[in-house]
Amino acid sequence: MNAVNTTKKRTGPRTFLISLAMIGLMVWVGKTWLYPMFFERYTGVVNATLTYESSKELKASEIKAISDELTLPYRDRKAREKIPDEGNSFIERLRRERVMELKSVRDDSPYPHIGYFKRAGITRYDGPSTCLICHADMHAANGKGEFVKVNTLEDVVDTVHFRFQKNSKGFSTFGFDGREVNAENSLLNIPMGKIDRACGIPGSFSWTGWAELVKSKPESAHGEVVTRSEGCGQCHIGGNYHPATEKMMPIGDVPASAKEGIDCLICHADVYDMNQRVVIADSHGRRWDQDRSLRAAMTVGTPKVDSCLNCHQHNLGGDAFEGNRASKNRGHINERFSHDGAKRATPFSPSTDVHSAAGMNCLDCHVPEGHKIPRGLHGVDLVANDLPNKPVSCEGCHTASPHIRDVTHRAILNGHIARLACETCHIKELADYNVVLRDWVYPVWNKEEGVYTYVDVYQSGKPGKGMTYLWFNGNGTFLANALGDNPTGDNRYNPLMNQLVKIDDPEVLAAIRSAAEKLKLTYPDIDVDQYVREAANPLSHFTPEQVEKRRLWVEEKIRPLMKKGISRITPFKLFNARMYEDMGNQGLFGAMILPFDYASYYETGDPIQSVKTAIKHPIVRRMYEAPFKMYMMDAFMTYFGVDAWSAEYPLTANDELQKVEKHWMRQMATLMINHGIKRDGRTCRECHAEKGILDFDKLGYTPERAKELRHLPELEKQAK
């Protein structure tokens, strides 16, 4: 007996090591092959090798011609500096031509990569693989004044610009259940960000509206069908058939082919052709094309203002903003749509923003660490943040005492900073095409674009109308409502029960009414009164008990969040949308909105059919199944203020929608506005007056204090 035991014990270690190796091998095989295969089958996402037409091999002569053209303005300026006018234009020209060809002048010209490519024998731009030949590693700032070596590709893949979400800590968002979104760094966190955040402005999800081709019949084409591009992917640096879905899981990674689809040049190339940014279809599916020309690659450097604005002017200024370079170059083929109604309507351009006029680069304020770009400590709209602890603030440059010029009033102006955000005075209004109310359920024919489009029931950039002033402590709710409270107040400030659920400005009401009357021409069964009531009061379909329950909920769960930190009066853009909602997942603050399929929506103008098409997408189906429910949807819903996710699929076997209703969101969303800054701020009397832009009563001041604030003795004395 002893003998047997001894033998067993002596072979133990070997068996142990062998089994360890076996487990390792199995894990590796599973991770590399089995899991990705399973994932693609389960979610229906497609991955394939990505090719781009603009990525072409160029001949030496072509390269020479392009480099001459790109550097011409610089060399020309240099030649003019060196050779002054001497009265003989012929001699001048000859001499200048010589100067322009000098080696030193060529070497000194911008776009040093022209020379690097020449030396490295690079005659074609292949995407990341070309960049990584030299930039496999980079030295990224770590925020402490030091630089650390990082793998460039990994650094990019890990950014929000690629992932579209984070499941780590660092959201300034709180659920309606009172919990901070992903409060700790834990495995149980759910991936949150643009990838899975439904929103009424685009009216779709990132999967269901990633890269769409729409058949339009614009007036200008006289009945001909013109294919157009649409979808979330146009502003994504990945060129894949879907967003970086794999990154939402705690394990697994996007495949190498997706990483090869990263568009380095849209940020780094000085000369990037936005006309290449259109949807293309191949045998695997639809995706967004890129400018992968060697010409663009030759102009790489650190991102300039225009690089960021290729995408971000879309939500800052909007497509309708005339200074939007990208919307002027909407595609050689499959032209992108120009969207009416801007998300923020605060264009960043020399004529509309003082910092742009000063020639500042975006990265001057948004100082990056490697490829991670900070968006500041504040945020209301549930967007993942790569550097949640890195401030992007006015104070960073302007100090805590920014007012210097006005010697008489500088102290009192600075005094206001304790209660007012800089933007309150220095953004006076938004562009007038700022969308406030967008109705997706009554599409109308748009002659110019040749498709059915949503209706912007109300657009305005005026204070009190398209934008409002709220107390803000830097945080927001799960549905993008600014959190904050009047620090001197007695809980009478309550936007979730007052200003965000009631539109009472007669001018706005009149505008809604006229829009409804116009809609009635197309949809005769619209009841105009009801239409106005629903748009102006999104709680109108609530019973009094529900309203009361909501009021108590706000006091119990939201008030403590409002009281956190330091609140300042801050301007916000207001927004509400009407979409179809899954009433099985409804709470006091909203319901799960259902996406629209762009192609069917635009082409047929049948919103119901469009919703049906969209929710048949494999990922939306999976959302309504147990694994997704357990993985993230239950947690998602608790943030919504709903106990659990109802996995009842809103489409019946007979292709009928069930428990789906059309509703406005239960309160208006409030989006931060931080660009479009004006040098001159508002003056005292614009607020401290009987009809000032700040509604002191709604901001939670007592009637006495509000009156006092409207009638400052100093100002009254001066007036007399």
CB of 4 to another protein, least distance (A): 10
Stretch that binds another protein, among 23-31, 184-192, 394-402, 606-614 (CB under 8 A): 394-402
Q: In this chain, which of 27, 91, 133, 412 binds another protein, going by CB under 8 A?
A: 412
Structure tokens at 688: 């401290």
Q: In this chain, which of 403, 502, 659, 678 binds another protein, going by CB under 8 A?
A: 403
Are residues 230 and 314 in contact, defined by beta-carbon separation less than 8 angstroms?
no
CB of 698 to another protein, least distance (A): 22
C-alpha distances out from residue 69 to 82, 276, 445, Å: 20, 20, 44
CB of 84 to another protein, least distance (A): 42
461: CB partners within 8 A, 6+ apart: 345, 429, 430, 431, 432, 433, 434, 467
Stretch that binds another protein, among 76-84, 403-411, 546-554, 595-603 (CB under 8 A): 403-411
CB of 681 to another protein, least distance (A): 15
β-pairing verdict for 568-586 and 435-446: parallel
Q: In this chain, which of 129, 401, 491, 652 binds another protein, going by CB under 8 A?
A: 401
Under the binding rule (CB under 8 A), the answer on residue 223 touching another protein is no
Stretch that binds another protein, among 204-212, 346-354, 416-424, 690-698 (CB under 8 A): 416-424
Stretch that binds another protein, among 8-16, 65-73, 232-240, 363-371 (CB under 8 A): 8-16
CB of 717 to another protein, least distance (A): 8
Under the binding rule (CB under 8 A), the answer on residue 702 touching another protein is no
Under the binding rule (CB under 8 A), the answer on residue 16 touching another protein is yes
Residue type, position 315, single letter = N
CB of 569 to another protein, least distance (A): 13
Residue 580 CA, chain-centre distance (Å), reads: 22
**What is the C-alpha separation between 562 and 474, in angstroms, rounded?**
10
Under the binding rule (CB under 8 A), the answer on residue 9 touching another protein is yes
Q: In this chain, which of 3, 60, 187, 719 binds another protein, going by CB under 8 A?
A: 3
Closest C-alpha among 574, 620, 358 to residue 463 = 574
Nearer to another protein, 489 or 605 (CB): 489
C-alpha distances out from residue 36 to 30, 163, 220, 254, Å: 8, 17, 46, 9
Stretch that binds another protein, among 69-77, 396-404, 450-458, 616-624 (CB under 8 A): 396-404
633: how many CB neighbours lie within 10 A of its CB? 24
Structure tokens at 226: 């013109």
Q: In this chain, which of 56, 80, 96, 409 binds another protein, going by CB under 8 A?
A: 409
Are residues 205 and 198 in contact, defined by beta-carbon separation less than 8 angstroms?
yes
Closest C-alpha among 261, 291, 286, 260 to residue 275 = 291
Stretch that binds another protein, among 415-423, 437-445, 531-539, 642-650 (CB under 8 A): 415-423
Nearer to another protein, 1 or 60 (CB): 1
Under the binding rule (CB under 8 A), the answer on residue 694 touching another protein is no
Under the binding rule (CB under 8 A), the answer on residue 144 touching another protein is no
DSSP 458-518: EE--SBTTTEEEEEE-S-EETTS-B----TT--S---TTTTTTT----HHHHHHHHHHHHH
**What is the C-alpha separation between 396 and 410, in angstroms, rounded?**
19
Q: In this chain, which of 106, 179, 312, 410 binds another protein, going by CB under 8 A?
A: 410
| H or E stretch covering 130 | helix 128-135
Stretch that binds another protein, among 219-227, 269-277, 398-406, 685-693 (CB under 8 A): 398-406
- The residues that touch another protein, with contacts defined as CB under 8 A, are 2-3, 6-7, 9-10, 12-13, 16, 399-401, 403-404, 407-412, 414-419, 714
